[in-house]
Structure 1
Amino acid sequence: MLIVHNIRLSRILRNTWQVDLIMIVSCTGAYLTRAFLIKHHFEIPAIIPAVLGTAIAFFIGFNNNQAYDRWWEARKIWGALVNDSRSWARSVITYISQNEISDEEFKTLKNRMVRRHIGFLYALKAKLRGAVDENYQQYMEEADLKEINQHSNVHNAILTLQSRELQQLNKDGMIDGFRFIELNHLLIRFSDEMGKAERIKNTVFPTTYNYFTKVFIWLFIVSLTLVVSHEAGLWSIFIGWLVGFVFVSTQINGMSLIDPFENNSSSVPLNQITRTIEINLLEMIGAEKIPAPVKPINDEYIL
């Protein structure tokens, strides 16, 4: 996620230089075609680029709106995970009664349930980013790892372990019915938020929208160059590129938000969010080793 208000020129060029070259070549080809092939035969009607420009504006506007909706929904999901994770740790620490177990066993029990949740978050993050991230293993006990390794959906298996232990605590009288309902409700919320994130990840944005937008932009640039070359001459190449750059950069900006869980500068900062929850929860259980916050990359964005 970008954390600066001004975008560096180098970043813009890095993201668009290939498209810029294609546009310049297309504009040059359009200018030469008119100058040497069709100049003395007919004129390109100015209404063609005008109509194409209007159509492209609608396409780009739709694409960008849908892309931002996906990104914002993903951000709200992980914002809810932050709040619910803190509530889970707070409830585990305060709601469970010690009964007849020793102080050490009681502390181990609470630590296990809180640390297991941190493992859930890291497993979910790895799944959403399609990466092999085994950080969750350091927060799981050996018996838990042996069981969840039999499942393809690790984060869902971790929630099952939490639910099973919660049920056992209720059976042993360490939490009453009301507190059991509250803790179980948090597990349900984790499952809902997990499912919403998976829905975004597994739902592919219709490729036809992106494809036809690119085609229309290319046709627009070529037709605009053909039309303005009559008055502007060689400058029509620059004008075609400049107007095309506006459309292309806007379209690229929107498409960068299509998959909000990708590991890039425009995505939801899962590393930062997960680390923030990890720090908060470890501090709540009094852990000795607390990891450092995730730092921005080049003071420009954070992952």
Structure 2
Amino acid sequence: MLIAQHIKLSRILINTWQVDLIMIVSCTITYFAREFLITHNLDIPAIIPSVLGTAIAFFIGFNNNQAYDRWWEARKIWGMLVNDSRSWARSLINYVDEHEDSKPLIKKMICRHIAFLYTLKGALRNYDDNIYSKYLTEEELHEIQQHSNMHNAILNIQSRDLQLLSKKGYIDGFRFMELNELLVNFSNQMGMSERIKNTIFPTTYTYLTKVFIWLFVVSITLVISSYVEYWSIFIGWLLGFVFVSTQINGMGLINPFENNSAAIPLNQITRTIEINLLEMLGESEIPEPVKPINDEYVL
């Protein structure tokens, strides 16, 4: 997630340089075609780029709105995960009756939740950092590795241990329901995250937007080349750059769980929850918070 108030022009150009080259080549070809092939045979009306520019503005506006909605929904889901994770640890620590058997089980269930968060993060980013393994026993690791959805398997283990706490009388029925509701919340938040990841944004919108931008660049170059001559190459590219950079900026939010500067900072969020839960357990070995990269963004 970007945290800098000002974005460097170099960062924008890194994301757009390939399209910029294509636009410059297109504008150059269009200019020479106008000068040597169609200058005396065809007069391009100025209304064409005007209409195309309006259509592009609508397409880009729609795409960017939908992209931000996906990004913001993902951020709200993980915000709820932060709150419910703290409630999970606090409830286990304070609601379960103190007993020699209950204390290690409470710690195991809280640490197992940290493993749940890391496995969920890994699934959403298609990257297994294996941090979760230090919070699970060998038996639990073996069990969840038999499942294609490891984070769901961890919730299943949590449910078994919650039932064990109830059978041994360490929690009453009301507290059991409260803790089980938190497990249901984790399952819902997991499902909502998976829905966003697995739902592909309609490719027709992005494809048509790119086509319209290319047509606009060509048509505006044709129209103004008779007035500013070779400067039409630069002006055509500049106007196209405005549309392209705006569109690419919006499309960067389409997949909010990817491991890039525009995505949700899952590393930071999971580390924050990990720190909070370990502090609540009174652990001495607490990991460092995730730090911003170049003071520009955090992953």
Query: Into which bin does the TM-score normalised by the smaller protein fall?
Result: over 0.9
Matched, 1:97 2:97: yes
Corresponding residue to 1:127 among 102, 123, 128: 123
In 2, distance between residues paired with 1:51 and 1:189?
A: 48
Counterpart position of 1:196: 192
In 1, distance between residues paired with 2:144 and 2:248?
A: 40
Counterpart position of 1:12: 12
In 2, distance between residues paired with 1:288 and 1:222?
A: 64
- CA change 1:257–1:203 in 2 (3 A) is same
Deviations 1:250-281 (CA, angstroms, capped at 9, x unpaired): 00000000000000000000000000000000
Counterpart position of 1:145: 141
Normalising to structure 1: TM-score of the pair? Answer: 0.97
Counterpart position of 2:165: 169
- Matched letter for residue 296 of structure 2: E
> Residue 6 of structure 1 aligns to a residue in which SS?
coil
> Residue 156 of structure 2 aligns to a residue in which SS?
helix
CA RMSD after TM alignment: 0.8
Matched, 1:242 2:238: yes
Counterpart position of 2:295: 299
CA contact (8 A) 2:90 2:280 kept: yes
Q: How far has the Cα of 1:106 moved from its partner?
A: 3.2
Counterpart position of 1:227: 223
Normalising to structure 2: TM-score of the pair? Answer: 0.98
Deviations 1:270-298 (CA, angstroms, capped at 9, x unpaired): 00000000000000001121000001111
In 2, distance between residues paired with 1:223 and 1:34?
A: 11
Counterpart position of 1:85: 85
Counterpart position of 2:47: 47
In 2, distance between residues paired with 1:207 and 1:132?
A: 28
In 2, distance between residues paired with 1:256 and 1:248?
A: 12
Counterpart position of 1:60: 60
In 2, distance between residues paired with 1:9 and 1:223?
A: 27
Return 5+ residue gaps in structure 1 as ranges. none
Percent identical across equivalent pairs?
71
Matched, 1:271 2:274: no
CA contact (8 A) 2:102 2:170 kept: no
> Residue 143 of structure 1 aligns to a residue in which SS?
helix
Counterpart position of 1:25: 25
Please give the residue correspondences for 1:274-285 in structure 2 after superposition, counting only pairs within 5 Å. Answer: 274-285=270-281
In 2, distance between residues paired with 1:107 and 1:166?
A: 13
In 1, distance between residues paired with 2:210 and 2:84?
A: 41
In 2, distance between residues paired with 1:162 and 1:132?
A: 21
- Matched letter for residue 190 of structure 2: M
Comparing 31-40 with 132-141, greater Cα deviation is found at: 132-141
In 2, distance between residues paired with 1:153 and 1:91?
A: 26
In 2, distance between residues paired with 1:63 and 1:164?
A: 44
Q: How far has the Cα of 1:133 moved from its partner?
A: 2.4
Deviations 1:30-61 (CA, angstroms, capped at 9, x unpaired): 11111000001120111111111111111101
- Matched letter for residue 237 of structure 2: W
